[in-house]
Structure 1
Amino acid sequence: MINQVWLKTFCTLVEVGHFTQTADKLFMTQSGVSQHIKKLEQQLDVALLVRDGKSFLLTDSGEQLFQKGKELLKSSEELESLVRHDETHEGRIKLASPGSVGLRLYPHLLEIQQSFPKLIIDYTFAPNKQIEQAVAARQLDLGLITQLSNLSNVVSHKVGVEPLVLVTAKNVDTINWDTLIKLGFISHPDAEHHARLLLSKNFQQFEHVDQFIHKGFSNQISLILQPVSKGFGFTVLPLHAAKAFPHQTLINIHELECSVKENLYLCFNRQSIQANRVKFIKTTLTEYLN
């Protein structure tokens, strides 16, 4: 069995990239760090580093050990935390979702936190790919995404659907292809995905959002419809995000002939050991979104 103390020293060294700084971070001497690496190489009977003066490079074996070793150390930390303290309604939970889902979900989670003050909700608004990568890297306990994950260590379960709508300024009553070409497109982090889903079902001319003149971009869910409301262009959003815009009299929400609903997936890391508080929020999200 790999000595976890030596493994932690090795993984820290690779992350920090410097023997002296690693020693400082782990409250060791530089020679102690070198001894741990040497003992680990002897135990495994492979070279892990190629030293070049004060710097080093990883061997293939070293790279493999670093990638798998990080997962092993993370699992060990999770297990220790789980054994020491695993209350259902206490502790910190990190989760993320795209903006539209967050507008609907975050207020509900705050109500839960009011009921259980020792439960701490860390909520991030982010696009699909960023959430998926954060779940894969175990930077999040749970994520909500609108595209099924293709990553092998991310598990995704469908928990709901959300209609997509086309939004323009209030003075635009009729939607056709020529109108969209004239208006231009207001983009956002998931705009290409949303537009492809909705417009491909309703306009045979549609191929890609680049067919429209780019009229602006915002990564803040609460601001995406500001330029739309001023007549700068149109966009495609989940219905809840459109209805959450505070100036409803300035926009027109168009539900097209062929309706499209976007799936919502709850995802988590396959290798994570889920604490009871994570299981509680996981169940809460599933029930609320169904």
Structure 2
Amino acid sequence: MINPAWLRSFCTLVDVGHFTHTAERLHMTQSGVSQHMRKLEEALGVELLVRDGKKFSLSDAGERLYAKAQDILQALSNLEQSVGEDPPYEGMVRVMSPGSVGLKLYPHLLALQKKHPKLIIDYRFAPNSDVENAIAESTVDIGFMTSKSTLADVSCTPVAEESLLLVTPATVEMLDWETLMAIGFIDHPDGSHHANLLMGANFPEFQHIHQFSRKGWSNQIGLILEPVSLGMGFTVLPAYAVEAFHKPKQIKAHRLSNPVSETLFLCGRRQRAMQKRMETVIAEARRWL
């Protein structure tokens, strides 16, 4: 294996043409430069310098090495620079979160990408368990979860609170237990969990979600409120999902007397260094949460 330092000394010597001046340029001793030349010749098994007293010329092998070595040293310099670079607005950042948070953040992160085209946003919507596993397996860089991870490899920091809202058709004026029983529930993957949190804190009659007739179900966060807007039932959703609905006049979000919120956690793999582009995305996300 050829030591790059020997190659650098060799090329500098050829460029300068003098051992003493080469040593000065490289902040070495003259004997150190001579030692590099000797080790390089021994490693290659050829004579590189034809010495004549204090003067020298290149052998044929030396000429060939000089032509190749400059490209090698430039490639090494480029490699060092590219590996050491950590630009804040370039490269891909993989983000994963539950749907409601995604509806809130994704448009803003797209706006950030539009402003900095070399920054690529890869955004996935997924439930907490999938986010947790993806972070532990390092298949995403940044995760947002509405519950704290139990995995040792995943670190979680609380960054925001997201309110849970009971949402009915816009035609519902008086919200009471009898009205909810009459119109029924539009379910979704977190429907039971959200209903237990919010309705359990506000309705003494509430025991479990199965007290209501199930009038529909959707696993697409952007579509859960469609049947509600058509008067088919009510549901319970995080506030960001409600804010993002495209027909706000056809639904009514009710803030109950005992508000309930979920804590939103920023999650990442423990002990993993955070690159600047990830810090850029996190800072933008925090602006909007």
Aligned to 1:114: 114
Q: SS in structure 1 opposite 2:166?
A: strand
1:263 aligns with 2:255: no
CA distance in 1: counterparts of 2:177 and 2:113, whole angstroms: 46
Alignment map for 1:65-214 (pairs within 5 Å): 83=83, 85-214=85-214
Query: Is the contact between residue 189 and residue 219 of structure 1 (CA under 8 Å) also seen in structure 2?
Result: yes
TM-score (structure 2 length as normaliser): 0.67
CA distance in 2: counterparts of 1:151 and 1:281, whole angstroms: 24
Counterpart residue type for residue 135 of structure 2: V
Change (3 A) 1:192 1:137: farther
The alignment covers a number of residue pairs equal to 210
Query: Is the contact between residue 161 and residue 263 of structure 1 (CA under 8 Å) also seen in structure 2?
Result: yes
Q: SS in structure 2 opposite 1:222?
A: coil
Aligned to 2:26: none
> Any gaps of 5 or more consecutive residues in structure 1?
1-79
Counterpart residue type for residue 141 of structure 1: D
What is the root-mean-square deviation in Å for CA atoms of aligned residues?
2.1
Aligned to 1:245: 245
1:253 deviation in Å? 1.5
TM-score (structure 1 length as normaliser): 0.67
1:85 deviation in Å? 4.7
> Any gaps of 5 or more consecutive residues in structure 2?
1-79
String of CA shifts for 1:197-253, please: whole Å, max 9, x gaps: 211110123232222222211121221111111222110112232232222222121
1:84 deviation in Å? 5.4
Identity %: 48
Query: Is the contact between residue 196 and residue 209 of structure 1 (CA under 8 Å) also seen in structure 2?
Result: yes
Q: SS in structure 1 opposite 2:133?
A: helix
1:99 deviation in Å? 1.9
CA distance in 2: counterparts of 1:179 and 1:236, whole angstroms: 15
String of CA shifts for 1:107-128, please: whole Å, max 9, x gaps: 1111211221111000112222
Q: SS in structure 2 opposite 1:138?
A: coil
